Amino acid sequence: MTGDWTAILIIMTEKPGKILRTLLLGTILATFSLPSEAAPPDVAPAGSQPSALSDLMIRLQFQHIKLWFAGRLNNWSLATYEAQQIDASLKTTSKPSPGGADANRAIEKLQAVREAIQSLDVSAFTQAYSALTNECNGCHRANGYASITIQVPVNSPFPDQLFTDQVADGRALANASCGGCHVVSDGAKDTPASGFPAPRFVEISKRASFSADGLRQYLMSGHRRLGPDQAMPNPRLADYQIEAIVAYFEALRAGGAR
């Protein structure tokens, strides 16, 4: 005890700044010398899904919704893409579950959906999609998640996504509105119905001066006739029709038009 008082007296005779530093150092040492409590483990509540699996199920649900609207609206390219995404997600969970459900059965149902997409068959797609949905619900029930029931979507929760095939719509519209003078498709042997020497769409799309905004403004013109010599009659398109034709031109430029 005498030694402790001697140390205190020595500290008190030092300069105030050194006293403050000594007290601060003592506080730090005392803090680190205290026994630390072990951090509680990050354990999910009993019966809850692991976070990774829950996130995967949410992603699958979005893909399931998009697949439905793409197929029903004949957007087979988008439907193919969404089916591929679902297949990859299901294979992540392909290990058989304790309840006896197996994601491989859902993959088998998905294969029927993919075959309907390849056949461009809306009726077969609808039937196969319903079977896939039923299999998903069966898997939920077998794993203790009977309260999670999915259905064939009624409304799209994605108001910012167009589920129709805009490129295909643009091509059909261009054929109807412009095919009399222009070769609309990228087929080398196609010829315009009128024989008028108008440039092919694919040639226009490959020009260095081409831009989507320029084409958009061109088609939005209020003039009766268009072009350098005003040789082209204005097709008088609505905004959504203009966007479809612009989409088709951009696909031609990228070499991906169908």
pLDDT of residue 43: 41
**At 194, is the pLDDT very low, low, confident or very high (cuts 50, 70, 90)?**
low
Q: How far apart are CA 238 and CA 125, in angstroms?
A: 32
State residue 183's pLDDT score.
86
pLDDT at 152: 97
- Please tell me the distance from the alpha carbon of residue 153 to that of residue 61, in angstroms, as a whole number: 10
pLDDT of 100 higher than 70? no
CB atoms within 10 A of CB 249: 24
CATH class given for the domain over 52-142: mainly alpha
Residue 196, pLDDT above cutoff 70: no
Residue 188's pLDDT band, with cuts at 50, 70 and 90, is: low
Domain residue ranges in the chain: 52-142, 166-254
Burial category of 151 from C-beta neighbours within 10 Å (exposed 0-12, middle 13-18, buried 19 and up): exposed
Q: Give the chain's largest Cα–Cα span.
A: 116
Classify domain 166-254 at the CATH topology level.
Answer: Cytochrome Bc1 Complex; Chain D, domain 2 (1.10.760)
| pLDDT tens profile 19-41 | 545 544 455 444 444 444 444 44
**Which is more confidently placed, 214 or 185?**
214
State residue 21's pLDDT score.
53
Confidence of residue 42 (pLDDT cuts 50, 70, 90): very low
* Position 187 confidence tier, pLDDT thresholds 50, 70, 90: low
Whether this prediction's pTM lies above 0.75 is answered by no
Amino acid 49: pLDDT: 52
List the single range of 100-104, 141-145, 235-239 with lowest mean pLDDT. Answer: 100-104
Q: Tell whether the torsion through CA atoms of 120, 124, 127 and 132 is positive or negative.
A: negative
With a cut of 50, say whether residue 199 has pLDDT above it.
yes
pLDDT for the residue numbered 5: 44
Asked if 129 and 98 count as a contact pair (C-beta separation under 8 A), the reply is: no
Question: Could you tell me which residue, 193 or 150, shows the higher pLDDT?
Answer: 150
DSSP annotation string for 167-197: HHHHHHHHHHHHTTTS--SS-TT---SS---
